[in-house]
Structure 1
């Protein structure tokens, strides 16, 4: 077996695997020399002897060492960790794009196009993958396709042909060849191995509907803790009728549109499994080409890949805020940066309740109504719809209406522009851009210092600490600016999580 030094210490890995600690799920993988299988730290199988195991940072490193994924704990279902390491930014961006299907499918890019998108040379990108992951860009992309296909074979009733298409393979023959070569069994053999119709997991599987509609369920894992009740309340206060819905079972659902594909999902907490059971409904069979990107965005919106133990540990060091921090509070996103920008514009200088009313009016008036399956939903308005909107229904200043339509026009004309370019739009300031980055792109280090609620709660907690400070100077913002500069340095790279913690305070 190829030796590999895991970034997490060997002793920490040993303790985590013996305890089956779910906080480390997806942060490392366990290779078993005797069985040639690799597992997650939470694998229910009998723990192997320490002298028979090796530890790997990623599943692809374990696969490169000649190991195959365990059929019991299914490494393909582990939470991911790359998006929250805070280092190796270019490599992590490349992996995120590949995981979303940038190199797969009929419209997949080549390595050169991906490199250009990242602003680096293809030679440098290949060097990064070779040095950091021990594999090539194409091999990594192919492995991610296989892991996604494996997840669908385990968890859905999609046909093998549909699974191959959803995973980005253009040929069922090629899919079968690669699958067998990499995983030492065929897709049909794996499908048969998942259990009999009566077992608990299989009973959750949803059948395909008629008329081309596709309905499937996947289980998306996370690392505990997860403060879902508080986050359910957060969503409920801001929910948009017909676009979002919540029920008494603490589930959250919404409609979506991504790369020309529309549908909706329902996510219900499965606390016993540290996961969400997510039902996804797509309009037609051909929409499966975007399924990987859709699932990745659901993971981002619910913040399922956060290394929350590390984040909570960092927040616990910030005095005097530490005692007020709620363990497991996530960075809840919205479906797109454009939607987040619209929410930010509507929420300027008004209460959350008033902002929610304006948002509901905007979506119900300008969003497209669709019948998807048997459910009537409304999609968030497109940039084109907002650009053309008169907005007479919205009771807010004309300047903000103009800023909203200008934002729609800009994103319509420049769909892939960096959000910093939004600052060229009259009425769009740093707070709006920062909010869109935090909730629309899920950037982890956005401390919204300009937010009035954040300012009020930071000052309230630090006032006692700053005994003798002139309160009038603090209220004018001079001391607050210095305070938040220091606070942002202390909390980095988790400023967005502190923002949500401050919002959560009563």
Structure 2
């Protein structure tokens, strides 16, 4: 969404929180940039400049407001809604690809030249990949300063800086203060492998069906619901981790236990992706509410989010395991796979004992050891093979169109499996599972067309938000996926 100067001025004048993350407001007289909703006194319009990203404002010489913390606002919804190269690049930069593989690595993942990537990002965001990655490192550094007792040189290394000096210089430029002064305003503590922080989102936010779905489909050994929090193991670039996510007033309380603190940025990014926290619910709900039937569901519980998965390849395997069987049976099959092929954690926590098996681990297994019909076994190994050799890419930042084509070419992948993967593994907001039993049952009960063909035709008016319509239909049934767990 490209906003005009007039639209930006209206958002700032109204302190409209819906636009936090869409752009930042920079004030020439103070050299500070803020969220649109910043509670500070609104400056005169002639002194305001608007930038599409915090990185662009930082490059122009502005530092982050200490009051509204624009660097910690919800992310731009466009990166989750769009499938073009710029959106894919932003998803990958947020996941730390530039820090790990450099700009050439980012370009390779996108299938573009370095020059093309630079031009794309500068055109739309006013900053290149290095500046965008630097802004992300600054935010990671601030999070570690404020929420851990790590030493500053350890924080600099963990946040991805090449030296303590570059870390100090970046913090001074971005926040207008020193790392020590930032820590002096907080109460850092806790062990060095643990970080607790708040994950913001745009309101409204309805957590029941989101967490209900994650817990109802949770794989034993990998996911659990414990004391009001969804917890899961996660395979991160530098080692395993466990994240805990608890719905709270106005935010998600996140605790990450990491083997390597360099993975903090990736862990936070994947948690936000998992819970769809960067969505714009007002935009989504305003379109879905136009439907006379679906509108009733939207108005009764606005702010639905689509439950995703931290690891795309993992969900593809889980989707095949769940073909034509109940949710409980799918969990049982996946749990067996985890126990036999998953990598055990060095330090299990509660019922969390393993990482989910990789496609390579599955390919090394004896097919006869998997208790399932032969046809499904063939599909499972075909999917694992395609993931292992790169024919099918379901990693964060993958091309949705290419993934759809690759899935259609695999044996045993029908509409239900394909759309489930596109929705939950890749985050396609328009994926539509018209053949899902829960969707069909709720549709009939509400007076909507009950056959997949007729429902798909009716759902044309819901585009491009059909995945959110699926979530509302799931929540309307009496299945556990629609309820917050006990």
Q: Is the 8 A contact 2:79 2:88 kept in 1?
A: no
Q: Distance in 2 between matches of 1:276 and 1:139?
A: 28
**Given the alignment of the two structures, is residue 484 of structure 1 paired with residue 453 of structure 2, yes or no?**
no
Tell me the residue number matched to 2:84: 89
Q: Deviations over 1:262-301 (max 9, x none)?
A: 0101112231xx2222111123xxx223322222111100
- 1:110-129 alignment to 2 at 5 Å? 110-111=103-104, 113-129=105-121
Q: Which of 445, 468, 484 does residue 497 from structure 1 map onto? A: 468
Larger Rg: 1
TM-score (normalised: structure 2): 0.85
State the secondary structure of the residue aligned to 1:295.
helix
Tell me the residue number matched to 2:73: 78
Q: Is the 8 A contact 2:147 2:189 kept in 1?
A: no
Distance 1:84 1:7, change over 3 A: farther
**Given the alignment of the two structures, is residue 386 of structure 1 paired with residue 362 of structure 2, yes or no?**
yes
Shift, 1:129, TM fit: 2.6
Tell me the residue number matched to 1:434: 419
State the secondary structure of the residue aligned to 2:157.
helix
List structure 1 runs of 4+ shifted beyond 4 angstroms: 4-8, 44-55, 84-88, 373-376, 391-395
Q: Distance in 1 between matches of 2:447 and 2:349?
A: 52
Q: Deviations over 1:375-416 (max 9, x none)?
A: 552211121222233466765322212322332233223386
Tell me the residue number matched to 2:101: 108
Tell me the residue number matched to 1:341: 316
Q: Distance in 1 between matches of 2:6 and 2:80?
A: 12
Q: Which of 178, 186, 190 does residue 207 from structure 1 map onto? A: 190
Q: Deviations over 1:230-263 (max 9, x none)?
A: 32222222222332121343x1111111235201
State the secondary structure of the residue aligned to 2:61.
coil
Shift, 1:9, TM fit: 0.8
Q: Distance in 2 between matches of 1:7 and 1:391?
A: 60
Q: Distance in 2 between matches of 1:8 and 1:363?
A: 54
Q: Distance in 2 between matches of 1:450 and 1:35?
A: 56
User: What are structure 1's unaligned runs of at least 5 residues?
Assistant: 196-201, 464-473
**Given the alignment of the two structures, is residue 188 of structure 1 paired with residue 159 of structure 2, yes or no?**
no
User: What are structure 2's unaligned runs of at least 5 residues?
Assistant: 394-401, 478-486
Whose relative contact order is higher, 1 or 2, with alpha carbons under 8 Å and at least 6 apart?
2
Shift, 1:222, TM fit: 0.8
- 1:151-230 alignment to 2 at 5 Å? 151-192=143-184, 194-195=185-186, 202=187, 205-209=188-192, 214-230=193-209
Q: Deviations over 1:46-83 (max 9, x none)?
A: 55566654444332333344321012222221110144
Q: Deviations over 1:353-396 (max 9, x none)?
A: 22222222222333222133765522111212222334667653
Aligned residues: 464
Distance 1:89 1:46, change over 3 A: same
